[in-house]
Amino acid sequence: MAVQQSAAADPYFPEHGDPRYRVHRYEITLDYRPGPNRLAGAVRINAIAGRSPLAEFFLNLSDFKVGRVRVDGRQPHYTHRGGRLRIRPAKPVRPGAAFTVEVHWSGNPKPVSSPWGGLGWEELEDGALVASQPIGAPSWYPCNDRPADKASYQISVTTPSAYAVVAGGRLLTRTTKASTTTWVYEQAAPTSSYLVGLVIGKYQTVLLGDPGPGGVPQHGHIPAHLLPEFSRDFARQPQMMDLFQELFGPYPFEEYAVVVTDEELDVPVEAQGLSLFGANHVDGARGSERLVAHELAHQWFGNSVSIADWRHIWLNEGFAKYAEWLWSERSGGRSAQQLAGAAHRLLSSQAQDLKLADPGRKTMFDDRLYERGGLAVHAVRCALGDDAFFRMLRGWAGLHRGGAVTTATFTAHANRYADEPLDDVFDAWLYRTALPALPTLIPARPSHPPTNAESA
């Protein structure tokens, strides 16, 4: 699936991302010293110009010292201020032409300020982690920071040998020289900049279940003293993986890793092929199991099938929320209908001013978006019936694997599986603020005949 490129800036974060070009690949080389929190980096970016000559473009990069910039091997004119590295090539790049950018930078990484606190690179008591959603990626590397611009990544990190490095993707090599070790990871699947995950710390690595022939390797990276609790809290993740592959289609990446830091996090964080949890999410009693399901589901909804811009964030969070309910339903807990009822009661007591399809920058992470998003998905299930609904889900994840989508893309897709148009359902749940009546799941009924989307 080709990534849908928008010619316009992101309406919520117009200062992030340059739509005049797209990136094909990042090759990032980092040297990090945890004690002084010192980062030195170099990146080679392979990109393609848009439909107009590219006389100037920009990358998002925080307040680092920039030591070298090259475009196709030649020195350009550039300025670096306000989180933007503006580059004017010695010669404009022709429309549709491939070009390369090299940038070297160094400094002390710190989070990007945002309405939700610091985002991106976070120094820990003993190590570091990256939690970039939505605009934190420039806190540690130069990038075209827009969710629709998805690229492959190779990341090389050199750090003292006492530390482990975990990144999304496949570990290619780990090489120790003197007192440092270099870890090289490859993420071949198209990845949004905010989903490039990286954790540096002292962890013990365990295998979660036996993937078997053709299975998905799943690893946990945990502080040794939390291993007993982790072993119970994440014990059912392999069954979640099996269930979600049954319901959503094949897992979209090569591997899946979870990291538990030795510090508390407000919420877990998803990255491409990687999820990050805090020590507070591990209690030995499966107290956060719904979040384990939520973050795993994001690998399909949000990571593989990404959003074209941040107006459509409900497509990430609504489907991940509904995956929590599906896991509960299929693992002996409350049914999706019961959980939908609880969510509906909660929302009915709160303000009715959230438009799901365009929530606005201030409320894009509001708890109501998650709950109403889950209810919107449940409403589609109730309208379609189970057979058509789950065929629709598998078709959605398969058709748009590696791509970027909008709410309109989804509504058109879902309508292909309906006996009658779903326009009233979508209008009520996505485009109006008043909370509709609780949708009710009815017994299975004959569904719409298979469409071309299902077999794609």
d(CA 346, CA 344): 5
Q: Same structural domain for residues 324 and 239?
A: no
Average pLDDT over residues 366-394: 98
Neighbours of 33 (CB within 10 A): 13
Separation of CA 221 from chain center:
19
**CATH number of the domain enclosing 413:** 1.10.390.10
* Long-range CB contacts (within 8 A, 24+) of 366-369: 369/313, 369/314, 369/317, 369/318
The per-residue DSSP string of 207-231 comes to E-S---TT---EEEEE-GGGHHHHH
DSSP 425: H
Say what the pLDDT of residue 93 is. 98
pLDDT classification of 449: cutoffs 50, 70, 90: very low
Among residues 304, 332, 359, the one where a domain terminates is 304
Q: How is the chain split among helix, strand and coil, in percent rounded to 5?
A: 30, 30, 40
pLDDT of residue 7: 61
Three-class secondary structure assignment of 332-394: CCCCHHHHHHHHHHHHHCCCCCCCCCCCCHHHCCCHHHHHHHHHHHHHHHHHHCHHHHHHHHH
Q: Note whether 237 and 344 are same-domain residues.
A: no
How many domains are there within the chain? 3
Q: Note whether 248 and 294 are same-domain residues.
A: yes
The DSSP result for 54-120, as a single string, is: BS-EEEE--S-EEEEEEETTB--EEEEETTEEEEE-SSPBPTT-EEEEEEEEEE---PBP-TTS-BE
DSSP output for 244-265: HHHHH-S-SSS-EEEEE-SS--
Looking at the fold, whether 349 and 423 belong to one and the same domain comes out as yes
CATH number, domain of 290, equals 3.30.2010.30
Look at residues 197, 222, 241 and tell me which one is the last residue of a structural domain. Answer: 197
Structural domain ending residue among the three candidates 289, 304, 319: 304
State the chain's mean pLDDT as an integer.
Answer: 95
Q: For the stretch 317-335, what's the b/e string if a residue is b when 16 or more beta carbons lie within 10 angstroms of its beta carbon?
A: bbbbbbbbbbbbbbeeeee
What is the distance between the alpha carbons of residues 193 and 149, in angstroms, rounded to a whole number? 8
Note whether 221 and 97 are same-domain residues. no
Q: Which residues of 270-283 are buried (b: 16+ CB within 10 A; e: fewer)?
A: bbbbbbbbbbebbe
Q: In terms of domains, do 160 and 53 share one?
A: yes
Which residues constitute the domain of residue 222? 203-304
pLDDT for the residue 450: 40
Same domain, residue pair 329 and 433: yes
Q: What is the pLDDT of residues 110-141, one digit of tens each?
A: 999 999 999 999 999 999 999 999 999 999 99
Name the pairing type of β-strands 38-49 and 21-33. antiparallel
Eight-state DSSP code of residue 40:
E
Tell me which residue has tokens 């990050």.
Answer: 276
Average the pLDDT over 160-178 and give the result: 97
Structure token pair of residue 15? 């200062």
The per-residue pLDDT for range 228-246, each reduced to its tens digit, is 999 999 999 999 999 999 9
The answer on 381 and 317 residing in a single domain is: yes
| Per-residue pLDDT reduced to its tens digit, 333-351 | 999 999 999 999 999 999 9
* Domain identity same for 190 and 62: yes
**pLDDT value of residue 453:** 40
pLDDT at residue 451 greater than cutoff 60 = no
Are the C-beta atoms of 228 and 172 separated by less than 8 Å?
Answer: no
CA distance 191 to 340: 32
The CATH number assigned to the domain holding 19 equals: 2.60.40.1730
Query: Which residues lie closer than 8 Å to 60 by C-beta, 6 or more apart?
Result: 15, 16, 17, 83, 84, 85, 135, 137, 138, 142, 143, 144, 145
**One domain for residues 91 and 129:** yes
Q: Which two tokens stand for residue 285?
A: 């009693």
Q: Which tokens belong to 440?
A: 């009710």
Measured distance CA(201)–CA(159) in Å, rounded: 10
Q: Please tell me whether residues 104 and 150 are part of one structural domain.
A: yes
253 and 275 fall within a common domain: yes
Residue 76 confidence (pLDDT) above 60: yes
Alpha carbons within 13 angstroms on the beta-carbon side of residue 259 total 29
